[in-house]
Structure 1
Amino acid sequence: MHLSSTAPHPRVLHLTQPVDGGVARVVTDLVQAQLSDGLDVTVACPDSALTTNLRGLGARVRHWHATRSPGTSLVREVRHLARVIDEVRPDLVHAHSAKAGLAGRLAVRGRIPTVFQPHAWSFEAVGGGTATLALMWERWGARWASRVLCVSEAERATGMGARITGRWTVVPNGIDPERFRPAAADAVRAGLAPLAGIHPAAPLAVCVGRLCRQKGQDVLLRAWETVERQVPDARLVLVGDGPDHDRLRESAPRSVVFAGAVADASPWYQAADLVVLPSRWEGMALAPLEAMACGRPVVVTDVDGARESLPPSCSTPCLVPPEDPAALAGAVTALLADPLLRESLGEQGRRHVLSTHDVRYTAEAVSDVYRDLLGPWTATTPSAQHGQPLDTGCGAEANRTTQRVEPTEYRESIHS
């Protein structure tokens, strides 16, 4: 199934579970770029809104019935995936996140060039004996990955520190600065129904993410008690849904609004004075990048990818330790009370995202990984489609700073 170097249209099979949140966004962006470049793209995933979006882009979608977590259904899921792979006959398999990485590598077992993209390590998400098993698997499964694709240097370092060996490439996450761009907060707030009844001038913090332990909204709610005392008219909006919704809502004060899941988070970033993401672990979260692209300052926890996603000068006011409500409250309160600092941080963040986290250059870097594994192919559209600076609305200076993201490779022997 290896691609001839003269074949113009590589067949790529993306495997993904989960089908929501940042992983779904990354898959969607990659598929869109790869279709534009002439690749023959299929995605195997559970039926969801993601499948509708992918079909709308022109991708083939194969139903793969898989739960989010490993369990007794794993053997059936691997067999189903093996049948899909036999039918699609891909030249390359790109498996996203822990579940698809587990099932995909078991189904392929090195017979086809395989890219595994963790999107944060599985052993960080669990504890006790489950974490031990997850780590053992990641060490063993690395032999069946032609490349381990990390979204941050910190994610790679975490994997190497856990003694996972393999051939590594680091390609930072990217976002679309044309979709996520600045807008006047007052006008945007007026169009968001969940903000009805809130004073238009009320200081507004927004957290966008799945309501789950990973994203740390419970820590934010504990911190918010202190923020309320310091900034009594402040409001917090939690955008997203997930397994912790009911528990979080029970403990939330009246100043917290639950907006639910949304198809497009950009209006919420634009409406915010400040965007907060208090994650317990990440690879490199998309929400802070999206917020900065909208010109909004962020407060994030110092987990994998966070420092790399921020402008170097923003670490002190924007970065706090994970699981530290007091530090989180202090950072949020300080920024809500300082509009000039917020404006400065928002401008710095926007410039930083334009220069280092443009999704088009991320897609190019992933294509470079594919070419290294498969050999060259000819794109059906000019490379300039992905290589020209964006019209960002920030002027010529911002366009001149836009740079291509180059993948960083690390090679280690894979022990058999």
Structure 2
Amino acid sequence: MRILYASHWFLPYSLAIVNALAKNHEVCLVTTHRALRSVDPDRARELLDPAIRVEIEPDTRERQTQPPGYYVASLRSLRRLIREFRPDVVHVQETTDPMLAWVWLRALSGTSLPLVVTVHDPEPHLGDTHKFWWVRQRMIQSIRRRADQVVALAEYNRQALLAMHEFLTPDRVGLAYHPVMEFYREFVPPEAKRRPGTILFFGRMVKYKGLDTLIEAWETIRASNPDARLIVAGRGPDLPQYLPVLEADDRVEVYATFLPNGEVARLFTEAEVVVLPYREATQSGVLATALAFGSACVTTDVGGLGEMVEQGKSALLVPPGDPKAVADAVLSVLEDGTLRERLEAGARGRAAGPLSGAQVAAQLEEIYQRAISAKSQAN
């Protein structure tokens, strides 16, 4: 099978998938300089299977939207690539840039190519909307409507998509879980090791991530465990209001900046527990990274997060917006070595099994076949 796979933004999600697909299929990866920077521009090619053909779209801005000329040039190059590569199926990762949806719709117009679209977030997260969000939603709806198969990253998301769009039927929405992000392990510093008492809160600092819940829980954790220390790493609009409190605490470390892969790998290696006190979620790259490192996790049971782990085996699940439950769960992991070892072993099992790149690629292969079959019957 010839697979044209597009990942314009966050390439770490796609690395394990395309590498696994390349073992049995001919894969062409369409990506951007910005996406390559999210991996490591100097090492990106060595992290990809050498059999994968890589086509790089020349984006010029760090933010997702690009100058108008970029989309015109991208449309031309994609049409050329489709003629040259002659894919059996096209797989596009949905992004927040509505113009990319337009580009792909135009590139595929006049063809009978099966289209598969992965939806990472069926709807905007709490705190993620802006005044022009309706434009994005209109374009995103158009590409979802055109897709022969839509991929959801959790059953929760699958049901949300079916409820949102009357034009989607159950046979058109497939399930392929978020794979663990093993590639970060390539960057672990040799001196990095688990640091007792270390709690990690990592990622984009936006309202739905529940930083306020964690700060309230931290008061209890701090008072109960003298060895506990908290690391808050990431940037975003929700962080500045909490910085004075966090920076005043000598047992809290704050990294309010973009971190290179080596630093990300160090933090996850050192953390004794990774905490995700989210108010809502669809899936989580942070959880996928923590599982790749075999980390003990405490996460709220919201959205698709509970599907990525097993309660009491690979993570502890707590209700959202409950600082006491978060504090109790974190303390139990820090203070019960047997529990912590069980969760770490369970995390490694999830990473090697149902959330591995190979397993997710197998799920996608079935979805591709359904898309090809549906398009063939329609034609």
Q: Normalising by structure 1, what TM-score? A: 0.70
CA distance in 2, matches of 1:179, 1:51: 10
Note if 1:106 corresponds to 2:111.
no
Note if 1:44 corresponds to 2:31.
yes
Deviation per CA, 1:9-48: give whole Å up to 9, x if none.
x25141423x3xxxx2112223333444452413232435
Amino acid of the structure 2 residue aligned with 1:84: S
**1:64 equivalent in structure 2:** 59
1:194-205 aligned within 5 A: 201=196, 203-205=197-199
Out of 237, 253, 258, which is 1:257 matched to?
253
Note if 1:175 corresponds to 2:180.
yes
CA distance in 1, matches of 2:32, 2:340: 40
CA distance in 2, matches of 1:245, 1:97: 27
Deviation per CA, 1:173-207: give whole Å up to 9, x if none.
222669769xxxxxx999359x9xxxx64x11112
Structure 2: any 5+ residue segments left out of the alignment? 375-379
1:32-181 aligned within 5 A: 32-47=19-34, 48-49=36-37, 50=39, 52=41, 53-56=43-46, 57=48, 58=50, 59-65=54-60, 68=63, 78-89=71-82, 91=87, 92-100=89-97, 102-109=98-105, 111=109, 112-125=113-126, 126-127=128-129, 135=137, 137-163=139-165, 165-166=167-168, 167-175=172-180
2:12–2:181 CA contact under 8 A, matched in 1: no
Deviation per CA, 1:205-229: give whole Å up to 9, x if none.
1123233445443442333223212
Partner of 2:160: helix, strand, or coil? helix
Percent of aligned positions with the same letter in both sequences?
Answer: 21
Amino acid of the structure 2 residue aligned with 1:62: E
CA distance in 1, matches of 2:40, 2:77: 16
Higher mean C-alpha displacement, 140-149 vs 215-224: 215-224
**1:345 equivalent in structure 2:** 343
**2:205 equivalent in structure 1:** 211
Q: CA deviation at 1:283?
A: 3.0
Deviation per CA, 1:51-106: give whole Å up to 9, x if none.
72544435232223467566xx6865543432231232263433223325x33332
CA distance in 2, matches of 1:75, 1:178: 33
Note if 1:16 corresponds to 2:14.
no
CA distance in 1, matches of 2:29, 2:345: 38
Alpha carbons of structure 1 residues 177 and 141: separation in structure 2 relative to 1, 3 Å: closer
2:295–2:347 CA contact under 8 A, matched in 1: yes
Alpha carbons of structure 1 residues 95 and 247: separation in structure 2 relative to 1, 3 Å: farther
Q: Normalising by structure 2, what TM-score? A: 0.76
Aligned residues: 347
Amino acid of the structure 1 residue aligned with 2:153: V
1:142–1:165 CA contact under 8 A, matched in 2: no
CA distance in 2, matches of 1:190, 1:232: 28
Deviation per CA, 1:112-166: give whole Å up to 9, x if none.
4322212223433535866666555544442122221111111111222323643
Out of 335, 360, 363, which is 1:362 matched to?
360
CA distance in 2, matches of 1:339, 1:312: 17
Amino acid of the structure 1 residue aligned with 2:13: V
Structure 1: any 5+ residue segments left out of the alignment? 1-7, 182-187, 376-408, 410-416
Amino acid of the structure 2 residue aligned with 1:45: T
**1:336 equivalent in structure 2:** 334
1:81–1:103 CA contact under 8 A, matched in 2: no
**1:276 equivalent in structure 2:** 275
1:295–1:347 CA contact under 8 A, matched in 2: yes
CA distance in 2, matches of 1:170, 1:86: 29
CA RMSD of aligned residues (A): 3.6
Q: CA deviation at 1:357?
A: 1.3
